[in-house]
Amino acid sequence: PLDEYDDCWLRYDRVGDDAPRESYRRRCLHAYVSTGAPELAAVRDELRRGIGGILGREPHLWQHPPRSVDGFLAVGTPEEMEVVADSVDTDAVAELADGGFHLRATEWEGSPVLVVTAPTDRGLVYGTFALLRRLALGRPIDDLDRFEEPATPDRVIDHWDNPFRRSVERGYAGPSLIDVGELPALRDRYEEYARLLSSVGINGVVLNNVNTEIPSRPSANAAMDAFAGWQLLATDRLDDLAPLASVFRRYGVRLYLSVNFGAPETLGGLDTADPTDPAVEEWWAEKADEVYERIPDFGGFLVKADSEGQPGPYDYGADHVDGANVLARALAPHSGRVWWRAFVYGSHADRAVQQYETFAPLDGAFHDAVTLQVKNGPIDFQPREPVSPVFGQLPETDLGLELQITGEYTGQHVHACYHVPMWKEVLEFDTDPEGVGGGEGDGDGTRVKDLLRGPGSGIAGVGAPGEDPSWTGHYLAQANLYGFGRLAWDPDLSTEAITDEWTGQTFGTGPTVAEPVTDVLHESWPAVIDYTTGGLGLLHMMYNGEARLENHYDPAPEEWPGYTGASADGIGVDRNARGNGYAQQYPEAIAARYDDPETCPEELLLFFHHLAWDRELADGRTVVQTLYDNCFRGVARAERLRERWRDLDGRIDDRRFRHVAERLEEQVLQARRWRDSLVDFFYDHSGIPDEDCRVPRT
């Protein structure tokens, strides 16, 4: 264990009297764990730490079923362990998807036994973490009979780390965790990190930034240190990566690399990277062979092409199918995948319309080993956006949902902002409310989460962790990493269930602690939406300059007029039939709902419509008055976060209490700044004062 790093939700604090400690002791203080695979060593280590913490005594580990004791824990596959085969429905276990597991409390030769089993060793790791989570939360185990499997096969964290420089694009937790030159020395840290990921079911890590800038082609994000990641594909670098891959493998986590589309030229010395050129095809195939020789379970390549200055198939007169498929053909023989990002933009006045226009015509043409990775919204990780119209409308394409774990536009880990409710909103969005697509959903159409279940689909989260001892820069931002993994594993989980789990494991289960933490988390996103956008669907009111710390952080509503549409007559953007037709990209029922300001959900109103400042909304208030009120409400909410957190004084450790308290203090100040900047902006354009005389500000 690394003393200086926080244990996050793997604290394994001693459980209190309200937990069924007696049955925990009986069933867990002796453990018979099968041996062999590297994953099983991880299971044993975790049991020592977990049970050792929760019960105050490490379990005794056996090489055979202990007959002399009054109960034990058995961890293994049915093939390897007779006691397991005797205790479970082996057919049902065999049918579980990769990563799935079964927990069962039963009796064996007259004594209580708790079984953790799975068809694969990876599943045993997840099952062990799931059991320890139950114990840490003080939940009963005597009637356990639970089958779990991941909803989607690939649950990947995308690091935007710039290797060699150790900087992290949009990272707010210090330097990169990954130091490619220093693998052996950092083994412990990688192991701690892999534990965190694995404990929530994340099974893949993209090590480097999607902006893998090449020297001859500085990207639009040059100021972000986007740098040199492409070099990781060089043969000697791949040699360096192999040991890192084996650390992660113990925890069921596979490595991926983000690659530059121009690599055949920059790295391979070819005179083109044209995906239709046979020499390029061969180069990628050989490169893939090289990677798999060193890392047999390598996950695949992530590609950002033709976007923000990155090279791509358009440079060669080819299209995104040509581009993705040449990589897919290289990886498919090794069971690897290409994650091809749909975040392609540059040619359109309003970015919102571009993705669907680019990718809808390509539906059905991608190779089976391609996953199209689509951001949740059509713009860019704003505090709130509509769900991208790509979801549900490319039935022949495997989709990966891309979410942002890091808080780029939500306060950059200075502000608390819990993303789980936002992600739930996305996952539950019904892409086919009329059920015309024949839906795989629950009868009323196909929700985003239903689109992610099949083979080839997945979820990617743009990472947050860095070298800061808290891993995420803000202790409360750990909840986003936790929630991302849990939702990727099971998108049916409710926000409340995830909050309970995280809070219970991180701060404790008693109501005097859990309730304030929960209140703070649950009110944080609504607060951020209110004061950074005014709550009616406006976006991109953040500063977009080059000074790193302020970029996408500080208020600058005047900066991108195209995004707010503010003028003397009104505010908002006509992304509707009267305007650029973005709303019409959705299936008819959704398009109709968004296209009419009367039926468009209020929280997205100005995203879809340019409306007069004095237009009345459903409750009789005008647009501008509602914007004012929401900005003030945002500050009130931020103040409530701060007050509510104070209730924890003396009830949690001082370090975490003070760290969060100080940040919430700053959040209140920043919220006021945001409010003032936005209300001035609304007033300057509308000339309409606030009914409550708060604006104009004197």
SS3 of 281-317 = HHHHHHHHHHHHHHCCCCCEEEECCCCCCCCCHHHHC
Are the C-beta atoms of residues 174 and 468 closer than 8 Å to each other?
yes
Separation of alpha carbons 366 and 520, rounded Å: 44
- Outline where DSSP puts E strands in 165-264: 167-168, 204-206, 254-259
Binder among 87, 152, 167, 211 for ligand GCU (CB under 6 A): 211
Catalytic residue among 82, 240, 308, 639: 308
Element (H, E) at 462: strand 458-462
**Binding to ligand GCU by residue 380, rule CB under 6 A?**
yes
Residue 642 token pair:
């701060």
- Rule CB under 6 A: is residue 169 a binding residue for ligand GCU? yes
Rg (CA), the chain: 26
171 or 433, CB closer to ligand GCU? 171
Q: How far is the CB of 326 from ligand GCU (least distance, A)?
A: 21
Q: Is 373 in the site for ligand GCU (CB under 6 A)?
A: no
Classify burial at 644, counting beta carbons within 10 Å of its beta carbon; exposed 0-12, middle 13-18, buried 19 or more: middle
Distance between CA 186 and CA 176 in Å, rounded?
A: 12
CB of 301 to ligand GCU, least distance (A): 15
Is 191 in the active site?
no
Give me the 331-350 binding string for ligand GCU, x by CB under 6 A, dash otherwise: ------------x-------
Shortest Cβ distance from residue 221 to ligand GCU (Å)?
A: 5
Q: Does 224 bind ligand GCU (CB under 6 A)?
A: yes
Q: Least separation, in Å, of the C-beta of 419 and ligand GCU?
A: 15
Q: Which of 213, 225, 398 is nearest to 300 (CA)?
A: 398
Q: Which is nearer to ligand GCU, 87 or 404 (CB)?
A: 404
Cα 676 from Cα 555, distance rounded (Å): 9
210 interacts with ligand GCU by CB under 6 A: yes
Mark 408-447 with x for binding to ligand GCU (rule: CB under 6 A) and - for no binding.
x---------------------------------------
408 assigned to active site? yes
Give dist(CA 353, CA 336) in Å, integer: 31
Q: At residue 198, what is the residue type? A: S
Least CB distance from residue 459 to ligand GCU, whole Å? 15
Active-site residue, selected from the candidate residues 191, 398, 402, 408: 408
Tell me if 358 contacts ligand GCU by CB under 6 A.
no
C-beta of 442 vs 546, nearer to ligand GCU: 546
- Judged by phi (left if over 0) then psi (alpha if -120 to 50, else beta), residue 304 lies in beta
Distance CA 286, CA 138 (A): 52
Report the sign of the C-alpha dihedral through residues 184, 185, 186, 187, in that order: positive
Q: Which is nearer to ligand GCU, 221 or 670 (CB)?
A: 221
Nearer to ligand GCU, 120 or 355 (CB): 355
Interaction of residue 371 with ligand GCU, rule CB under 6 A:
no
* Residue nearer to ligand GCU on the CB measure, 222 or 493: 222
Cβ distance to ligand GCU smaller for residue 12 or 381: 381
Matching residue, tokens 């571009």: 354
Tell me the C-alpha distance between 269 and 423, whole Å. 43
Strand partners, 60: 30
Candidate residues 221, 266, 446, 472; the one interacting with ligand GCU per rule CB under 6 A: 221
Distance CA 123, CA 454 (A): 19
Q: Decide whether 124 or 462 has the Cβ nearer to ligand GCU.
A: 462
Instruction: Give the whole-angstrom CA distance, residue 286 versus residue 279.
Output: 10
Which residues ranging from 513 to 552 are in contact with ligand GCU (CB under 6 A)?
none
For residue 344, the minimal CB distance to ligand GCU (Å) is 10
Report the distance separating Cα 467 and Cα 216, nearest Å.
Answer: 30
Number of residues counted as binding ligand GCU (CB under 6 A)? 11
Q: Looking up tokens 């509510």, which residue turns up?
A: 644
Q: Which of 82, 380, 490, 676 is catalytic?
A: 380
- Residue 532 vs residues 382, 536, 634: alpha-carbon distances, Å: 10, 11, 8
Residue 168 interacting with ligand GCU (CB under 6 A): no
Q: How far is the CB of 551 from ligand GCU (least distance, A)?
A: 8
- The single residue listed with the structure tokens 């606030």 is 690
Q: Which is nearer to ligand GCU, 414 or 660 (CB)?
A: 414
Q: Is 308 a catalytic residue?
A: yes
- The residues that bridge with 103 in the sheet, in sequence order, are 116, 146
Structure tokens at 494: 């409710």
Q: Give bridge partners of residue 301 from the DSSP assignment.
A: 257, 338
Name the minimum Å distance from CB 304 to ligand GCU.
5
**Is residue 304 close enough to count as binding ligand GCU by CB under 6 A?**
yes
Q: Does 351 bind ligand GCU (CB under 6 A)?
A: no
Residue 244 sits in the site that holds ligand GCU (CB under 6 A): no
With CB under 6 A as the contact rule, the residue among 26, 30, 102, 170 that binds ligand GCU is 170
Bridge partners, residue 255, by sequence: 205
- Interface residues with ligand GCU (CB under 6 A) are 169-170, 210-211, 221, 224, 304, 308, 343, 380, 408
Catalytic residues: 308, 380, 408
